[in-house]
Structure 1
């Protein structure tokens, strides 16, 4: 969260204690308490939603898996917290991150035309460059883990201290399937097979990206959604990871750095998977209720399993969208209400091939549907 101006600080004063309490609950690994506090203080004095929807969603994802939440997802939860932690006055690290990021993207006017305040919000909350600079290059994650995160949450994480030191790599997308995504490192040619959690949702096979490859139990993964870049940019960064800011700045007209949000279980933005599952590709997905999205998730899963083609952008990875839907607590809660006898077999087949930990959700649903 960005540092508020003086008028904004006065308006936020009654909320500071709540914000700090929510941050503390998250840092201690108490997603239930954090969500309870946010729901109890959902709107501001003007009746506007106070919290970012993506924060509600990540807490709901944590609660959906509960004790089955994998260590890598706990690490991603810590990364999101480090990135979004409440500003401290005159935070030199945030100030430096903003300076470096604006130099790369070309100034606030290239971030938003709705004024400097809105531009700074977009930069800090949703810009890929800012997130990487503050969280990793300037040590935001390392400081958060060392000074803010509760020891029990850190103990559940998967090699989080190594994540904090991971460099940016240049990669090329080789292939993707229901369960996996294969990347090629541009520096060594090594093939990296990762679970398909939607990291390639905006990437075409053969395209190049920048991303941080981090260690996890049994292999590696990307710490978050990668950035699609021209091949020459990725090759330059592969040869010299420290050059990544310069490489992006020199090609910024060809690179979209906005639109990124912290994620836990997957890297598919909510509007994307909702739009993909909408009955009409042109419909406003947010108008569809969770029950409708649950129905469409099961129908799309059946189509994917049977190799059928449905309406929607051909380049969108539908497997990732189905997986994202089954990572949504509100959608999963409606499946038992709308599922038919035939859907039990669909969910069973899906749980056998989809990337973890959605397979756990699938097996839970199968047992629930059978009991019902």
Structure 2
């Protein structure tokens, strides 16, 4: 096993269990590790810090895995880590929910691996060379645990490119998933397109937040923006909202949402679906004099990195300004950001600016977070990406 020596003063984060070692922190490499090889990591005094896997093509040159020198990283180690992550989610699954995230990358000490369960199928995202090297072990262990009908790898070409990997996707075990898999979340059925849907096929990170928002929609007129296949819309209809309008730019998402409404026997007369750019549609509602009691804004990631945060902040401010203009006194804005680069305090400031520009005064009455299957590891705060606020207009 090759050895990597860190520069003096560049080992503090590694000792504190942070999983990333950047290329600039490396002083010397003893041996010739190939990309994906597990290596020993030492400090300048040759004290063992951790095992990790190496990639000379990535800015994150080493992703640390294990800090106990007695627990060498091999097949047994990988299998035990997978089982530990999966067992931590056992309490989520019941008759009302058969979908959740099984493995959340660094948060589960398995950097570069994301696994989601969708009923009888498992969707994998393999984002690093180190995980690619042990893919057969991962697939075999998940097959042993769940006996799924199929395990499917999503093609994450852009993410894999950061680690020098070509895009790749397809069946890894069992059957190819059908065009739509029927899953249940909080008693609501969804048609999920595992192979071609966004991300892993479904946004299970909003599971608990959908319930909280729905509790505030009883008898209310609701606008659900960036609705995708209808997570917030379906929960609002189930909670007897008086009217729900869903907006998304994707024709496939809108069509799937309509199928999900029928699948759950919800009242279609209370629902209106609009395929449109959200910002344009919000302006159109404003020009038409439309008002809503609850506005939900769940946009895609505007800030993929810290360098894009300033531009993203302007986009979030404008989006929320437009949403607030459609609310009267007592109205509620449920607004989210899935940008890891934007922390909750910055998001609050952006909303304060949006309210000021909209001529509104708001209160923050609830803070949304990631659910338990998307844990935030104490030594890896970068894993906290989803945040949201429920705002009341005064």
Return the TM-score normalized by structure 2. Answer: 0.28
Which structure has more relative contact order (CA 8 Å, sep 6+)? It is: 1
Return the TM-score normalized by structure 1. Answer: 0.30
Structure with the bigger percentage of helix: 1
Structure with the bigger percentage of strand: 2
